[in-house]
Structures are given as C-alpha cells and as structure tokens.
Amino acid sequence: MSETFKNYIDGQWVEARTAKTFENRNPADHHDLIGVFPVSGAEEVLQAVQAAKNAFARWRLVPAPKRGEILYRVGDLLRKHKEEIAQGMTREMGKILKETRGDVQEGIDTAFYVSGEGRRLFGQTTPSELPDKFAMSVRAPIGVCALITPWNFPMAIPTWKMFPALLCGNTVVFKPAEDTPHTAVKLVEILTEAGVPPGVVNLIHGRGEEAGAALVRHPDVQLVSFTGSAAVGREIASVCGQNLKRVSLELGGKNAQIVMEDADLSLALEGVLWGAFGTTGQRCTATSRLILHRDIKQRLTELLVARTEKIKIGDGLDESTEMGPLINQAAREKVHRYVQIGKAEGARLLIGGAILDEGKWANGYFYRPTIFDQVTPSMRIAQEEIFGPVLSIIEVKSFEQAIDVLNSTAYGLSSSIYTRDVGRAFRAMRDIEAGITYVNGPTIGAEVHLPFGGVKDTGNGHREAGTTVYDIFSEWKSIYVDYSGKLQKAQIDNAE
C-alpha cells in the first residue's frame, strides 16, 4: 500500500479537491512506488495564493533577524535529517548518494548563509542635496512569490530561492517538479518544525502546464522565480511580461571544458569525468562539450575512453555506484534520439550510445556514458542541451579558436579551461561568455555564496545565491525625511 501525499496550504496538509493523482517512482527501479501525489489545479492554486497573501501581511512585519533565526533552525534540522533526506532523494531521482548528500548540504549552507543576512540586508544612506534632509534606500519585500523548480536538484534549487525570499519578508507558493515531489514534502516538514508560520510557505503538487501555469497567471503572485528548461522559461517570461510581473529565470546550458596543450592532463581527465557524467549528465552545468587542443587530443581521448568504460552504473543507493539512471523514460528516449542525431550528423561514436535494460538494469532508465569524437561546433549535438551522459569532443588548433568554439552556442551558463599559462587563464576569464568560469576545475561545483546564473539564453540577467539574490527578492525603496520644517524643492537651481 503506497502512501498518499497532500498539498500544504495555510499551515495544514490538505487534500486536493481534484481526485486526479500522479505516481512518483524510483528511476532505478520503476516497480518501487514512492507515493501518490495530487494533480492540483486552479482551485488549489487560488487557495494557496490566498493563504500566502494573508500571511504576507504579518510576515513582512517580523524583523528580518527573527526571520533569519527561523532559517537558522531550518539549517540545523536539515543537518539533522541530512542522511535520511539524501537516501530518499536518491530513491526519488536516481543520482548517487554522494551527490544527494551534496544536494542537501547546499540547502544547509544556504540556510546558514542566508540566516546571517537577517542582520545585514543592507540599504544605503547618502547625503541629501538639501539642508536638513535625510536620504536613504531600504530593501522592501515584494509579496507572494511563486517558486517553480526542476527535479535535478530537488533540495538545493528550492532552498536557493525560498530562503532568500523568506528572509526578505515575502511569502511563497512552491510548485516542485513532478519527478521530485517527495523531497519537497520533506523540506516543507522541516520548515514547519522550525517554526515558519502558517501561510508563509505553501506547497502545491501538480503538473507544470496546469498548476504551474495557473500560479504564473494569478494576479496576486508578484514574482515568479523559475528554474527549468529554456522552452518553459520563455513561456513563463511572456506571461509575466504581459502582466508586468517580476520574473527570474535560470535555464539550460551547453557547457564546455577547454583543455590546452599545456594543461595537467590527469587533472583535466578527472574534471571532465566528473563534469560530464556526474548526475548522469543531468545538471544545468554539466560538461557536454570537450574542446581539446590538437596536440593533446589523442592522448586525453584515449585516457578518457578507458576511464569511461569502467564507470560503475547502477542504483545510486549502492555506495559503490558511480552513475545512476536517467530521470524517466522520456529523458532516456531523448538522450537516445540525440545519439542517433549525432551519428547521422557524421560524428564518430567512441563509446556508449546504448540503452541499458538487461539484468540489474532491467527496471530502471539506465544509459551508457557516451562520447562522440569528430564533432564540429555547428552540429546539433554540439549546440542543443541533451541533459544526459553524452559528451562531444571538438578539436581546435589554438587558444583563440577554443574560446570562439566555447562561445558559439546560444547558452552561457558554466565554462572551464585547463591551462598552466596564467595569461591564457586571464584572457579566458575575460573573453568567455558565461555566468561562471572555472580555471583548472570542471564546469560543476558552484558555492552558495557566489552569484549563480548565466548569460544569453541561460536566463534573463538575474543571479541567484551570493548577495545578488536579494535583488531578485526585494524592492528598493528610497526614503527622504525632511526636517527643515519648510517646503524644499529638489532639482531646482537654488544657487544665488
């Protein structure tokens, strides 16, 4: 008998009015049913937004340091339940335990980092141009925020959004991805236990095109913070544009690692293995292109293929597994389709390119780690986000060509260069078009106290994490206090 889960609205776990439900199954073993969740519709969205709106009237007046203290307790509780949440997350979305522990750790780091901001959340004071007048600007909360998240970081991404949103005095309605509703329930249970008041955080399960779209359109939702695919991001942005809502978008990537002829090759090898096949390639920052200088290409390619052959694929709950399954059947089909596209385009398949569905892999969505050689920059496999364990090798003759190739996609999230030449490293930092650049490190590995986001089609100019996230979740308000006792007119030429 599987457990049936509910929405969380106004401090209560409530059944959705609809009788429709969806199942959440383990991608490593689809016989393993995790639970049944409601397919919420517009009615549940109305209730959740109303609860968030009512709670906003009180929550915005709670002093920010107090809000920060609650988030500190959230961090403590996440730490206490870290292993249990990580185990549940691996069962729910497949990535290996080392990675799900890391995912929960990002939530913990964010909680502690953001909680301290309760005693900062700095505004500015500045002299007025007039005598006996005081001028300052402060951060004000915005109102009800819709948080719509993907499945690949079921704890890290919601917490990146939610904790700063709450710290700033906003209330939220959270719509997690259909593939990871259970981790979302765990997060909300912890928020409740930590003392987040009713209505401040509301959770709605359901489909993106139904519950998600209703949330985006609701007139009382002031801000939409979305992480997911570029296609959905564009749709959401156009609705928000029509309705003049604030919207922050964190979208896809087509990240590349450059390896120059002077690089430490064993370091570059470790980097690309982790960047390309970690999380089964299902990270927005995953390495999907490997740009190799021709002088080291053959050597590094041979080493890479040899190591890739040995990657242990299986259930992420087994500590010895190195790569788990893809998230679902549709994802596996998409990856396999791209492999056929790559072959048809004339790329050379070096390894992988096959579905694994026999023996211990029979009940999951496993796929062999795949490497293509002789890829040219304009091929679809070098341009489009595949979101799976597929790496394309592109050969270049020079540093300048490497940078050009790296920059030649629509996306601009993460990037990496391996070189021992400090001049090249600095030129790469300057000339690469991306929100994140690593020198002698892989394309994955963001830390929560630095801005996170990308350029070009990866987003719309916002940055989560760091200190920049507060520009998403607060409004600037400028305040003038005139204590001269008379009408003073600014911008009037008062000079005698």
Angle at 80 between CA 78 and CA 85, to 5 degrees: 60
How many residues sit close enough to ligand NAD to count as binding (CB under 6 A)?
29
Which tokens hold the place of 448? 């929560």
- Residue 387 phi/psi, 5-degree rounding, is 60, 55
Q: Which member of 24, 26, 152, 288 binds ligand NAD (CB under 6 A)?
A: 152
Q: Does residue number 151 form part of the binding site for ligand NAD (CB under 6 A)? A: yes
Closest by Cα among 160, 155, 415, 156 to 285: 415
Q: Does residue number 103 form part of the binding site for ligand NAD (CB under 6 A)? A: no
Draw the binding track, 443-482, toward ligand NAD (x: CB under 6 A; -: no contact): ---------------x------------------------
Draw the binding track, 388-417, toward ligand NAD (x: CB under 6 A; -: no contact): -------------------------x----
Closest residue to ligand NAD in the complex (CB): 208
Tokens 């100019």, residue located: 461
Smaller CB distance to ligand NAD: residue 255 or 419?
A: 255
Among the candidate windows 210-218, 396-404, 465-473, 477-485, which touches ligand NAD by CB under 6 A? 210-218
Q: Does residue number 387 form part of the binding site for ligand NAD (CB under 6 A)? A: yes
Q: Which member of 41, 154, 199, 212 binds ligand NAD (CB under 6 A)?
A: 212
Assess whether 284 carries a catalytic annotation. yes
Q: Give the shortest CB-159-to-ligand NAD separation in angstroms.
A: 13
Smaller CB distance to ligand NAD: residue 82 or 218?
A: 218
Q: Which member of 9, 148, 391, 434 binds ligand NAD (CB under 6 A)?
A: 148
Draw the binding track, 220-239, toward ligand NAD (x: CB under 6 A; -: no contact): -------xxx--x--xx---
Q: Does residue number 178 form part of the binding site for ligand NAD (CB under 6 A)? A: yes
Smaller CB distance to ligand NAD: residue 169 or 233?
A: 233
- Residue 300 phi/psi, 5-degree rounding, is -65, -35
Smaller CB distance to ligand NAD: residue 78 or 184?
A: 184
Closest by Cα among 118, 148, 315 to 233: 148
Smaller CB distance to ligand NAD: residue 227 or 321?
A: 227
Closest by Cα among 82, 48, 68, 49 to 194: 68
* Gap between the Cα atoms of 25 and 275, Å rounded: 26
Assess whether 235 carries a catalytic annotation. no
Among the candidate windows 72-80, 129-137, 185-193, 244-252, which touches ligand NAD by CB under 6 A? 244-252
Q: Does residue number 213 form part of the binding site for ligand NAD (CB under 6 A)? A: yes
Smaller CB distance to ligand NAD: residue 68 or 228?
A: 228
Instruction: State which of positions 283-302 bind ligand NAD (CB under 6 A).
Output: 284
Q: Does residue number 254 form part of the binding site for ligand NAD (CB under 6 A)? A: no
Q: How many other CB atoms are found less than 10 A from the CB of residue 63? A: 11
Catalytic site residue from 178, 250, 385, 395 = 250
Binding site for ligand NAD (CB under 6 A): 148-153, 175, 177-178, 208-209, 212-213, 216, 227-229, 232, 235-236, 250-253, 284, 385, 387, 413, 458
Catalytic residue numbers? 250, 284
